[in-house]
Amino acid sequence: MTRRPTGGAATRRSRPVLAITVLAGPFVLLFTCVYLVPLAYSLVRSLFRKQSSGIGIGPQTDVFVGLANYVEVVTDPTFWTGIGRVFGYGFFQIPLTLLLAMAIALLIDSRASRGRSFFRLSSFLPYAIPGIVASLLWAYLYVPQLSPVVQLVHSWGWEVDLLGNSWVLFSIANIAVWSWAGYNMVIYTASLQSIPREIIEAAQVDGANEWVQAVRIKAPLIRGQIVLTALLSTIGSIQLFGEPTILRTVTTAISAEWTPMMLAYNQTFGANNFERGSAVSVVIAIIAGVLATIYHKLETRGARS
Amino acid sequence: MRRGPGWGSRLAVNGALVLTAIYFLFPVWWLLVSATKSNPDLFSTNGFWFAEMNLVENVKDVFVRDSGLYPRWFGNSVGYGTAAAVGATITSGACGYVLAKFRFPGDRLVFGFVVAGLLIPGALLTVPLYLVAASVGLTNTIWAIIIPSLVSPFGVFLCRVFAQGAVPDEIIESARMDGAGDLRIFGQITARIMSPALATVGLFSFVGAWNGFMLPLIMLTDKTLYPVTLGLYAWQADKGQATYNLILSGSLVMVVPLVIGFFFMQRFWRTGLTLGAVKG
């Protein structure tokens, strides 16, 4: 990000302090109220614990406990099981979503395709459907009594239970693939269209068929976009909350603290333990930060080679 | 003239595209069909095709159930979405413009906020936001939903990128020569040039608030303040099977305006996705 070339107009004159304050002020103020203060406040709260004096009657007081809440979080098997689940979910969901998005983008971009705007719109349509509605819709499509799909599969003799312990993670991953593939496809399509046509034409002259063009030329050229979408999908995976919360209403395979975000929610509101809820949120934020850094490293290394 | 692709690859490419389209469209088709069925028919008739037409009764029932909560939820969703669209567009447009065109002490810090805000998983903020809202007495009020929705780091980022590319320094300078103040220049000239980016931010902010679930779930206990998403979840969680037909028609009523809007505003969706690489 270069900061030089655009500063010209303003810097030549004395700075319009009033205008800058009025224009940038509201965002800075709101950002402080909505991001900085809450994060700082929960960081502080996560170092305390409510304690009742004496035998548990009397008023509660806040006692400084250092990192004790964090120790409890990172030694809690529920937390790590939840982390395992969101990683398992991401491990399925991210490659499937991105591969499907890439496949559709490349198929539409290929010279052999027809009805391009129909296919583009149909894959992007799920993105216009609110996540909660998409989850409810798929939840019903997993319930055997309601779902024509499950009934069809059962009639073939495969008695799969999509809401059972062994399938439910895959079922949640499917909701994400369905919702997000089209969104990523739009990002890929835009980058594919920015590839200079001469490159593609040169490949055609050299006799590269559609498949070779797609896999060897187009896909590597939009590598940066792929890394970026993978990062965004990873951030989305860690905060998995809405889909399992909805599916929980139709299956017993999902517990109240099934994912780390559900754990944070349940600790804060179910168990009334704000301090633990805050600590869980902070640990998830740290994990997300580490993953973002790894992606950043991968990307810069890839760009150099 | 080079030879076009042969019929074999045409068949393979278009066949694969048809399969993906079926995957994306069949749940929507199922929603459309199911919203027209009575609750018993949902369980007893072919899911992929219409049975006895019950759509009008369903929608009526959606609107009067629980002494008319659904219309309130719908109004709330529209209200939350509009507040977010207007507020986030103004704050993001103004701040993005300043970051693109002015150097001032702390400008790097503000841009750092924007990038950090883009990378923080949104759900992680909800518990901290609740703690702060509770300590200032804002939980279970509309402000608990509206205030967080007025901030859009993505919007600022998008507006900054757009202003850098589309607003020429010469225009600002010549307006200054004519004696216009910087606030007037923004209000009357640059905001107009930036209108495609502003429309995109407004659209994304509206949809973000319209789709919101976790924040209202945490902040609100009064059912009359719920948005539609939370209301549908409450029906599903409280009454389950007995309200399946209501939830399906309620979902359809909620989805239709959005799908229509999204169809007509494709240009802005694309701007948002490609310029900003949005977070969801």
B182-197: b (≥16 Cβ within 10 Å) or e: beebbeebbbebbeeb
Burial (CB count <10 Å: 0-12, 13-18, 19+), residue A49: buried
| Strand segments (E) across chain A | 48-52, 60-64
Nearest to B27 among A141, A246, A264 (CB): A141
Burial (CB count <10 Å: 0-12, 13-18, 19+), residue A227: middle
Q: What is the ipTM of this complex?
A: 0.89
Residues of chain A contacting B147 with CB distance shorter than 8 Å? 30, 33-34
Residue whose tokens read 């608030």:
B209
What mean pLDDT, rounded, does chain A reach? 87
Nearest to A132 among B169, B233, B244 (CB): B233
pLDDT tens readout for residues B208-263: 999 999 999 999 999 999 999 999 999 999 987 888 999 999 999 999 988 888 88
pLDDT for residue A153: 87
Residues of chain B contacting A17 with CB distance shorter than 8 Å? 104
pLDDT for residue B249: 94
* Best residue in A18, A20, A83, A241 for a mutation probing chain B (most B CBs within 10 Å): A20
DSSP secondary structure string, B158-216?
HHHHHHHHHS-HHHHHHHHHTT--HHHHIIIIIHHHTHHHHHHHHHHHHHHHHH--HHH
CA–CA separation, B207 and A129 (whole Å): 10
Domains detected in chain A: 17-66 (no CATH), 69-304 (1.10.3720.10)
pLDDT > 50? residue A4: no
Q: Does B8 touch chain A (CB under 8 A)?
A: no
Residues 157-176 on A with a CB inside 8 Å of B are none
Nearest to A9 among B101, B233, B277 (CB): B101
Q: Does A96 touch chain B (CB under 8 A)?
A: no
CA of A258, closest CA in chain B: separation in Å? 15
Report yes or no: B262 and B107 within 8 Å, Cβ to Cβ. no
Partner-chain contact A39 B128, CB within 8 Å? yes
Residues 142-171 on B with a CB inside 8 Å of A are 147-148, 150-151, 153, 156, 164, 169-170
Nearest to A131 among B104, B213, B218 (CB): B213
Residues 94-123 on B with a CB inside 8 Å of A are 94-95, 97-104, 110, 113, 116-117, 119-123
**Above pLDDT 90, what percent of chain A?**
47
Query: Largest alpha-carbon pair distance within chain A?
Result: 85
* Domain-wise residue ranges, chain B: 60-276
What is the DSSP pairing of strand A60-64 with strand A48-52? antiparallel
Query: A87-93: long-range contacts (C-beta < 8 A, 24 or more apart)?
Result: A87/A237, A88/A169, A89/A169, A89/A172, A89/A173, A89/A176, A89/A237, A89/A240, A90/A233, A90/A234, A90/A237, A90/A238, A92/A169, A92/A170, A92/A173, A93/A173, A93/A176, A93/A177, A93/A233, A93/A237
Partner-chain contact A118 B21, CB within 8 Å? yes
Q: Which amino acid is at A31?
A: F
Classify domain B60-276 by CATH number: 1.10.3720.10
Partner-chain contact B169 A278, CB within 8 Å? no
Give the pair of three-digit tokens for residue A170.
Answer: 């895959």
Q: Which of B164, B170, B160 is nearest to B198 (CA)?
A: B160
pLDDT for residue B243: 87
CA distances from B220 to B48, B108, B165, B190 (A): 37, 36, 42, 39
* Best residue in B102, B189, B246 for a mutation probing chain A (most A CBs within 10 Å): B102
Partner-chain contact B17 A104, CB within 8 Å? yes
Q: What global pTM score does this model have?
A: 0.88
Report yes or no: A299 and A227 within 8 Å, Cβ to Cβ. yes
Among A24-33, B88-97, B264-273, the least confident range = B264-273
pLDDT for residue B100: 94
pLDDT tens readout for residues A122-138: 998 998 899 999 999 99
pLDDT tens readout for residues B116-145: 888 888 888 999 999 999 999 999 999 999
